[in-house]
């Protein structure tokens, strides 16, 4: 899941419903830290209360103690909904365009040349949110494949923890005003514009769906895929993880990357002092170190 800043703009006063007590908030803080790697300070109490009241109403629960009991009894059943409730997914098509430029101008032509005789090309969008990132990656990948007339086995894995984000990504339908980062040429090439009751909406081209596999995944739990990946995009995800969680995650990413594979982080994220497995080669672009 692309976990960005907990939304400070949520009203923190005058919220109706049960209050979040000390014991319940302490449990939730420990649970979220353990399961999601997010540290919630005391100043987040009212915000968490406001966000989770929606879940209490949806589940028809009378208080936060009942909600905490659900998490104790069956944490996996509610983890995705909890993460969605307390986090804000902020994403867009071709966000941080210099990452895509690096792929287009440097790496994709090189990889496709290297893998032309039966190789595999794999990219992972870790924290894909509502799908804009993996579909943008699919656009530049499809264009590179066409330009080189390549038949390389190329795929993009897109994962997230949020059920709502994954549902939106699988639908691949976006309002026209969400396509601001997409050039007119790419809009015509890679989107099907809605008509009638679907006016104002655009659906991603079937070719992009062919390239993207969307799956639920908690980055802090076991990973079923084996890799290796040529590139991992994990942007605006780790910024609110604590230091030990970041260190473990970067080490796991290194183990999943091909030799000289690349890790792309968000503009506010850094690997400084957290890993010896990578070299910084561009703006928040890291290459796996050859050891």
Residue 249 token pair: 């995650």
pLDDT surpasses 80 at 177? yes
- What are the tens digits of pLDDT across the range 95-152? 999 999 999 999 999 999 999 888 899 999 999 999 999 999 999 999 999 998 878 9
- What are the tens digits of pLDDT across the range 14-58? 346 789 999 999 999 999 888 887 778 888 888 899 989 989 999
Beta-bridge partner residues of 156: 123, 212
Please state the pTM of the whole predicted model: 0.84
Report pLDDT for 38: 79
Catalytic residue, candidates 29, 45, 51, 122: 51
pLDDT surpasses 50 at 183? yes
- What are the tens digits of pLDDT across the range 63-89? 999 999 999 999 888 988 888 788 766
Report pLDDT for 10: 38
Contact residues for 182 (Cβ-Cβ < 8 A; gap 6+): 93, 94, 136, 190, 191
Q: Is 7 in the active site?
A: no
Mean pLDDT for the chain overall: 90
Average pLDDT over residues 189-195: 94
**Which residue has better confidence, 8 or 201?**
201
Domains defined along the chain, listed by start:
22-86 (1.10.155.10), 97-288 (3.40.50.150)
Q: Is 45 in the active site?
A: no
| Of residues 124, 121, 122, the one with CA closest to residue 152 | 121
**Phi/psi of residue 252, each to 5°?**
-70, -40
Residue 107's SS3 state is helix
Q: What DSSP designation does 43 have?
A: G
H/E run at residue 61: none
Residue 157 token pair: 């894995």
Beta strand residue intervals within 187-267, DSSP E:
191-193, 201-204, 212-216, 229-234, 257-265
How does residue 6 score in pLDDT terms, banded at 50, 70 and 90?
Answer: very low
Share of the chain above pLDDT 90, in %: 68
Catalytic residue, candidates 29, 45, 122, 160: 160
Round to the nearest angstrom and report the end-to-end CA distance of the chain. 30
Report pLDDT for 68: 95
**Phi/psi of residue 206, each to 5°?**
-55, -30
pLDDT surpasses 60 at 288? yes
| Positive/negative CA dihedral, 156, 254, 283, 9 | positive
């Amino acid at each position: 899941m692309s976990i960005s800043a907990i939304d400070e703009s949520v009203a923190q006063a005058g919220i109706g419903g049960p209050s979040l007590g000390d014991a319940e908030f302490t449990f939730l803080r420990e649970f979220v830290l353990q399961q999601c790697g997010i540290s919630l300070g005391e100043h987040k109490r009212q915000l968490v209360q406001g966000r989770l009241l929606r879940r209490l109403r949806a589940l028809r629960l009378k208080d936060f103690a009942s909600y905490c009991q659900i998490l104790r009894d069956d944490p996996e059943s509610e983890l995705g909904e909890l993460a969605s409730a307390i986090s804000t997914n902020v994403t867009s098509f071709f966000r941080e365009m210099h990452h895509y430029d690096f792929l287009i101008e440097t790496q994709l032509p090189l990889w496709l040349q290297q893998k032309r005789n039966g190789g595999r090309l794999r990219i992972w969008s870790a924290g894909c949110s509502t799908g804009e990132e993996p579909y943008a990656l699919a656009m530049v990948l499809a264009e590179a494949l066409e330009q080189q007339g390549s038949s390389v086995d190329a795929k993009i894995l897109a994962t997230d923890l949020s059920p709502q984000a994954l549902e939106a990504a699988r639908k691949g339908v976006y309002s026209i005003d969400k396509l601001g980062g997409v050039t007119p040429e790419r809009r015509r090439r890679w989107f099907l514009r809605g008509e009638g009751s679907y006016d104002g909406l655009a659906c991603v081209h079937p070719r992009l769906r062919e390239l993207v596999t969307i799956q639920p995944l908690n980055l802090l739990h076991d990973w079923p895929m084996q890799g290796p990946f040529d590139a991992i995009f994990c942007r605006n995800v780790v910024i609110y993880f604590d230091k030990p969680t970041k260190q473990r995650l970067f080490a796991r990413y290194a183990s999943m990357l091909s030799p000289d594979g690349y890790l792309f982080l968000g503009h506010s994220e850094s690997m400084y002092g957290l890993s010896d497995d990578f070299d910084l080669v561009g703006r928040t672009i890291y290459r796996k170190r050859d050891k």
